[in-house]
Amino acid sequence: MLFGTANRDERKWVQPDAFRIDRKNSDHLGFGFGVHSCAGMHLVRLEIERPCLLAQRPSACPNRAG
């Protein structure tokens, strides 16, 4: 299976070729699936969530001004 084409199935996805950060369906195959899933996918998801959470609480960010 080619993951790039699977993630563009018009029967499954609305606007499959558009990058939509607000897309609610998380059934993508970007990290593989089953026994062949990416070993680092949970770490990657944490690394993506951290800046999003910090953006909601600016007081939690360290002062970056020299």
pLDDT value, residue 66? 47
Tens of pLDDT, residue by residue over 6-52, are 777 788 778 888 888 787 766 766 777 777 778 888 888 888 888 77
In a domain, 46, yes or no: yes
In a domain, 23, yes or no: yes
Please indicate, yes or no, whether the overall pTM of this predicted structure exceeds 0.85. Answer: no
pLDDT value, residue 35? 79
In a domain, 65, yes or no: no
Q: How many domains does the chain have?
A: 1
Is the confidence at residue 63, as pLDDT, over 70? no
Residue 1: pLDDT band with limits 50, 70, 90:
low
In three-state form (DSSP H/G/I as H, E/B as E, the rest C), the secondary structure along the chain is CCHHHHCCCCCCCCCCCCCCCCCCCCCCCCCCCHHHCCCCHHHHHHHHHHHHHHHHCHHHCCCCCC
Residue 14: domain span: 3-59
In a domain, 54, yes or no: yes
